[in-house]
Every structure is written in structure tokens, then in C-alpha cells.
Chains A and B, each alone.
Chain A
Amino acid sequence: MPLNNHLKEMRARLGVNQQEMGKLVGVSRQTISQIERGDYSPSVTLALKIAKVCNVRVEDIFEYEEDSHEE
């Protein structure tokens, strides 16, 4: 998935672990872990929730990287 994210850095800035971050945005610890690893691209709603909790714009956490195979 060509979606990079800085969730781990944002979480460290907030000083919370994955479990606490999950609680803040209403998802499980595993989902936060999957997003951080790049294994899961969150829905728009979840991305907005994460951005709101971190007090930044969605683009500051998630950035779309053009796939080199895409024309």
C-alpha cells in the first residue's frame, strides 16, 4: 500500500502506548499496530479521528506515495 504514516512518532509525542492510543480513537491495540506497520490503511473516519486526537492535519500523519508502477 503506498500510504506512509508517522503515527508512531505522533504517538510518542503524545506519550501514549498503542493500547491507550487505541482507546483514544476507539479501536483496538492491534489496529494501531497494523497501521503503524503499514499493514492496514485506515478508513477516512479513523484517519480523521487519529488526526484530531494528535491535534494535527491528516496529511501530517498519513502521506500518499505515488506507486512507481502507476501511470
Chain B
Amino acid sequence: MKNDETKKAVRLVVIFIICTIIGLIGGMTLGKIDFKSLLGGISGYHTGVVLSIMQILFSVICLSWAGISYAKTKKHAELWDGEDEDEINMIEKHLNTPLFLCNTLMIGSICLYSCACYFLIGEINLTGWLIVADSILFMMSLGAIFVIEKKVIDTEKQLNPEKKGSLLDMNFSKTWLNSSDEAQKLMIYQAGYVAFQAGNMACWLLWILMFVMQLLLECGVLPVISVCAVWMVMNLTYMTTARKLESR
């Protein structure tokens, strides 16, 4: 048992040393590249326009895909005879596709819109109309996401009458969870734990990236602080909740 733990500790130290050496060599190599002059050649206007076009394309692709996927699944659900259990399992599985696309689009849109505004606002004389158009498109995307998500939730409720909650309600997540049974709750908690682990890993990688960026591009300490703030909120919430549940 002790031997096994020593082996694991040695493996961890070796991984740490290898990562440090890779980081050192990578940092020294990147340090020789003049990023400022490389990036200086690209104008803020062009970057903003490219980001806006990316936002439009991303929204059109995701919304069309989500809309078509929802319409097909809804039609399939309406044709269900109420008996074939494999068929309803398939319908429920397919209902996840529009939700997945809407969530991805929402985060992607927020990111692309913010970045586009950052670049476009620098040259406001040239880009005023583009910022307005981009803002309208952003709002329309969020509206369309809400409509599709609401339709999916309503269909889910039609298929499972015991489910409660409306997207218009501020306490939707709580009501939905309360109307879920033990197996569904377990599934939600398991998915939440996997997401927490993925979030922790993402924070480690982002911190490394932001740390290198702040040294190379002099982008300030805000990116590192933002990553660490999210990281801390995640871990403190997890630990305080676990402690509360333990002492129940």
C-alpha cells in the first residue's frame, strides 16, 4: 500500500518536472518572438469585421441546425403511438441536440460579440453602424435561443407530464429539479460533477495560457484574475456545499 503511494508520488513529481522543463523551453522560445509587431500588422477594424462575420455564421449555422433538429423530433414525437418504448427513448435523446446547440451558441455568441465590440469600438467613426448591427444580431440570437429552448422544454413536459417548470420562471432550475425523480436527480448530479472536474482542468490550462500571455503580450493581470475568480467560486461552492451536506 505504502509502496503504491510512493510510486504515485514519484510519478506526480516526474510529471511536474517534465511540465516545468516543457514550460521553460516553450517560454524561452516564445519570448524570442516579437508578438507585438506580428499582431500590430492587423488592424482593429479588420479583426472586428472578421469577428462579426464569424458571429453571424455561427448563429445562422447553430440556429438552423437546432430549429431543423427540433422540428424533426417534434414531428416524430407527435407520430409516436404511445407504446413503442425504444422510439420514445430515441425521441428524448434527439431532444438534447437543440439544447446542446443553443447552449453552445449562447456562450459562443457572448464571446464573439464582446471581442468584436472591443475591436470595433476603437475605430468608432468607421464602425458605428457595424456595432449597432452586431448588437441587434446578438439580441436576436439570444431571443431565438430562448424560443427554441422554451419549445424543447414544453415538448419535454408534454412527453413527461410529471415535469414542472417554465423557462419564464426565475426559479426554473429549482422547480425542474424538484419535479425530477431519484434517477434523474442522480444523472443531473453526476453530469454536474463531471462539469466541475472539466471546469477545474480548463482553469488550470487557462491560467497557464493567461500567465504566458501576460508576460508576452503585456495584456495585464485582468485575464489571470478572471480565471482565478471563476476557479475560486467553483471550488469554494463545491467545498461549502459538500461540508453542509456532510453535516446534515
Chain A residues within CB distance 8 Å of chain B: 17-19, 22-23, 26-31, 33-35, 40, 42-43, 46
Contact = CB atoms under 8 A, between A and B. Distances in A.
B191 to A, nearest CB: 14
Given A27-B182, A31-B183, 19 more contacts: A19-B82, A22-B162, A23-B162, A27-B181, A28-B160, A28-B162, A28-B180, A28-B183, A28-B184, A30-B92, A30-B160, A30-B184, A31-B181, A31-B184, A33-B85, A34-B183, A40-B186, A42-B183, A43-B182
A contact face: mostly helix, strand, loop, or mixed = helix
A17 B181 contact: no
A26 to B, nearest CB: 7
A28 B181 CA distance: 7
Most buried by A among B83, B85, B92: B85
Most buried by B among A31, A35, A46: A31
B192 to A, nearest CB: 17
Given A28-B162, A30-B92, A30-B160, A40 B183 contact: yes
Interface residues of B, number: 15
B89 interface: yes
B183 to A, nearest CB: 4
A51 to B, nearest CB: 16
